[in-house]
Amino acid sequence: MITLIKIGGLFNIALAIFHLLFWRLFNWREDLRSLSFLNRGIMQVLNLTLTLVFIAFAYLSLVHTYELYLTTLGRSLLLCISVLFMLRAFMQVVFFRLMHWGSALLLVLFIAGGLLYGIPAVSAT
Protein backbone atom coordinates (compact mmCIF):
# COMPACT_ATOMS: atom_id res chain seq x y z
CA MET A 1 0.00 0.00 0.00
CA ILE A 2 2.92 2.32 0.71
CA THR A 3 4.01 1.83 -2.90
CA LEU A 4 0.62 2.98 -4.19
CA ILE A 5 0.89 6.19 -2.17
CA LYS A 6 4.41 6.82 -3.48
CA ILE A 7 3.22 6.24 -7.06
CA GLY A 8 0.39 8.65 -6.28
CA GLY A 9 3.01 11.25 -5.35
CA LEU A 10 4.72 10.82 -8.73
CA PHE A 11 1.30 10.93 -10.41
CA ASN A 12 0.64 14.31 -8.78
CA ILE A 13 4.02 15.66 -9.87
CA ALA A 14 3.15 14.69 -13.43
CA LEU A 15 -0.22 16.45 -13.13
CA ALA A 16 1.46 19.59 -11.73
CA ILE A 17 3.88 19.67 -14.67
CA PHE A 18 1.02 19.07 -17.11
CA HIS A 19 -0.91 22.01 -15.63
CA LEU A 20 2.13 24.28 -15.84
CA LEU A 21 2.29 23.48 -19.55
CA PHE A 22 -1.32 24.56 -20.21
CA TRP A 23 -0.24 27.95 -21.55
CA ARG A 24 1.81 26.28 -24.26
CA LEU A 25 -0.26 23.13 -24.88
CA PHE A 26 -3.57 24.93 -25.23
CA ASN A 27 -2.25 28.18 -26.69
CA TRP A 28 -3.59 30.12 -23.73
CA ARG A 29 -1.62 33.27 -24.58
CA GLU A 30 -3.81 33.61 -27.66
CA ASP A 31 -7.00 31.73 -26.75
CA LEU A 32 -7.58 33.38 -23.38
CA ARG A 33 -7.58 36.82 -25.01
CA SER A 34 -11.13 36.14 -26.16
CA LEU A 35 -12.26 36.00 -22.51
CA SER A 36 -13.03 39.01 -20.36
CA PHE A 37 -10.24 40.25 -18.11
CA LEU A 38 -11.99 38.69 -15.11
CA ASN A 39 -12.58 35.26 -16.70
CA ARG A 40 -9.04 35.19 -18.13
CA GLY A 41 -7.68 35.81 -14.63
CA ILE A 42 -9.98 33.23 -13.05
CA MET A 43 -8.85 30.53 -15.52
CA GLN A 44 -5.19 31.16 -14.81
CA VAL A 45 -5.56 31.52 -11.04
CA LEU A 46 -7.61 28.31 -10.81
CA ASN A 47 -5.04 26.45 -12.89
CA LEU A 48 -2.11 27.68 -10.78
CA THR A 49 -3.98 26.95 -7.55
CA LEU A 50 -4.76 23.42 -8.73
CA THR A 51 -1.07 23.02 -9.61
CA LEU A 52 -0.21 23.93 -6.01
CA VAL A 53 -2.74 21.37 -4.76
CA PHE A 54 -1.04 18.68 -6.85
CA ILE A 55 2.35 19.73 -5.47
CA ALA A 56 0.96 19.52 -1.91
CA PHE A 57 -0.49 16.05 -2.61
CA ALA A 58 2.87 14.96 -4.05
CA TYR A 59 4.76 16.30 -1.04
CA LEU A 60 2.45 14.58 1.44
CA SER A 61 2.59 11.34 -0.54
CA LEU A 62 6.36 11.22 -0.90
CA VAL A 63 7.48 12.70 2.43
CA HIS A 64 4.71 11.64 4.83
CA THR A 65 3.79 8.31 3.28
CA TYR A 66 3.69 6.31 6.48
CA GLU A 67 1.70 8.95 8.36
CA LEU A 68 -0.85 8.95 5.55
CA TYR A 69 -1.22 5.20 5.74
CA LEU A 70 -0.96 4.59 9.48
CA THR A 71 -3.00 7.40 11.04
CA THR A 72 -6.69 8.17 11.01
CA LEU A 73 -6.01 11.70 9.76
CA GLY A 74 -3.74 10.32 7.04
CA ARG A 75 -6.34 7.82 5.85
CA SER A 76 -8.92 10.62 5.81
CA LEU A 77 -6.60 12.64 3.58
CA LEU A 78 -6.07 9.63 1.32
CA LEU A 79 -9.82 9.22 1.03
CA CYS A 80 -10.31 12.92 0.25
CA ILE A 81 -7.66 12.80 -2.48
CA SER A 82 -9.29 9.67 -3.90
CA VAL A 83 -12.72 11.29 -3.94
CA LEU A 84 -11.28 14.36 -5.66
CA PHE A 85 -9.88 12.22 -8.49
CA MET A 86 -13.06 10.16 -8.81
CA LEU A 87 -15.18 13.32 -9.00
CA ARG A 88 -12.77 14.68 -11.59
CA ALA A 89 -13.25 11.47 -13.61
CA PHE A 90 -17.02 11.97 -13.44
CA MET A 91 -16.63 15.59 -14.58
CA GLN A 92 -14.50 14.41 -17.48
CA VAL A 93 -17.49 12.50 -18.83
CA VAL A 94 -20.00 15.28 -18.09
CA PHE A 95 -18.03 18.18 -19.56
CA PHE A 96 -15.95 16.52 -22.30
CA ARG A 97 -18.25 13.61 -23.22
CA LEU A 98 -15.29 11.37 -24.17
CA MET A 99 -15.52 12.57 -27.77
CA HIS A 100 -11.74 12.48 -28.21
CA TRP A 101 -9.21 9.76 -27.37
CA GLY A 102 -7.42 12.23 -25.08
CA SER A 103 -10.58 12.69 -23.05
CA ALA A 104 -10.94 8.93 -22.60
CA LEU A 105 -7.28 8.72 -21.59
CA LEU A 106 -7.79 11.42 -18.96
CA LEU A 107 -10.82 9.53 -17.64
CA VAL A 108 -8.68 6.43 -17.15
CA LEU A 109 -5.90 8.46 -15.51
CA PHE A 110 -8.28 10.14 -13.05
CA ILE A 111 -9.81 6.79 -12.10
CA ALA A 112 -6.27 5.44 -11.63
CA GLY A 113 -5.46 8.42 -9.39
CA GLY A 114 -8.57 7.70 -7.36
CA LEU A 115 -7.55 4.07 -6.94
CA LEU A 116 -3.95 4.93 -6.03
CA TYR A 117 -5.26 6.77 -2.98
CA GLY A 118 -8.56 4.97 -2.38
CA ILE A 119 -7.13 1.47 -2.07
CA PRO A 120 -4.69 2.40 0.75
CA ALA A 121 -7.38 4.54 2.42
CA VAL A 122 -9.83 1.66 2.77
CA SER A 123 -7.35 -1.20 3.18
CA ALA A 124 -5.85 0.23 6.33
CA THR A 125 -9.18 0.42 8.14
The mean pLDDT values, 10 residues at a time, for the chain of 125 residues are 97 98 95 96 97 98 97 97 98 92 94 98 81
Residue 124 pLDDT: 65
Residue 99 pLDDT: 86
Contacts of residue 51, Cβ cutoff 8 Å, sequence gap at least 6: 16, 19, 20
Between CA 46 and CA 112 the distance in angstroms is 23
Phi, psi of 55 (to 5 degrees): -65, -40
Instruction: Give the start-to-end residue ranges of the domains of the chain.
Output: 2-123
Residue 98 pLDDT: 86
Residue 86 pLDDT: 98
